[in-house]
Chain A
Amino acid sequence: DAKTTQPPSMDCAEGRAANLPCNHSTISGNEYVYWYRQIHSQGPQYIIHGLKNNETNEMASLIITEDRKSSTLILPHATLRDTAVYYCIVRVDNAGNMLTFGGGTRLMVKP
């Protein structure tokens, strides 16, 4: 699976959009971009995934650049409950269910 690079930490004001970047410059054509988050003392939670088109669900939006070498997870209106570590993962579609987690980004949403 391709290696990802994320900033170790970010702050965001409550109610504002949180934009979390991820670099995956060595991604291959059949690798998807997945985002999970882990709130303190809980197991990771799936957020969203995509291949090359932008995706949106009830939790977030995922913007993938045209060359697919980077992506941004957008939480449109961050709340205090969004404070967590966010993990960007890239993986192929037939690799079983193994996830390779990097260091992630610790997002702190402040009042």
Chain B
Amino acid sequence: KAGVTQTPRYLIKTRGQQVTLSCSPISGHRSVSWYQQTPGQGLQFLFEYFSETQRNKGNFPGRFSGRQFSNSRSEMNVSTLELGDSALYLCASSLFTPGTLNEQFFGPGTRLTVL
């Protein structure tokens, strides 16, 4: 079974630009979560999607947005990039069973560098 895939793996942008990152979950997984990892702040939750609806959102500015498609694939977008947005962006997928915890499977991440 293929794991979580993220594209692109590496990306370089300049301040003020926008960027779109893509995540394909494991087949059959309907929940997708996004995380940002930086040396200073560690791993921080961005948002979670299930059935094309955002279920949870972390404490990030509105420049960070996401969406999920009917095939469970997800994209996240960061507009008006700032130097501090340089980070490893991780996507995780899981099955969704109401009222239970589900193991999350992480992708390899997209390394974004903002110059």
Contact = CB atoms under 8 A, between A and B. Distances in A.
Interface in A7-41: 32, 34, 38, 41
A43 interface: yes
A96 interface: yes
A68 interface: no
B109 interface: yes
Interface stretch (A59-67, A76-84, A99-107): A99-107
A45 interface: yes
Contacts, number: 67
Nearest to B4: A43
Interface residues of A, number: 24
B107 A49 contact: no
Residue from B35, B90, B102, B104 having most chain A Cβ neighbours under 10 A: B104
Interface string A50-72: 00000000000000000000000
A6 B77 CA distance: 33
Given A49-B101, A101-B42, A102-B42, A43 B56 contact: no
Contact of B106 (A34, A45, A96, A100): A45
B102 to A, nearest CB: 6
B104 A103 contact: no
Contacts of A95: 56
Given A98-B33, A98-B45, A98-B48, A46 B104 contact: yes
Contact of A43 (B42, B103, B109): B109
B42 A91 contact: no
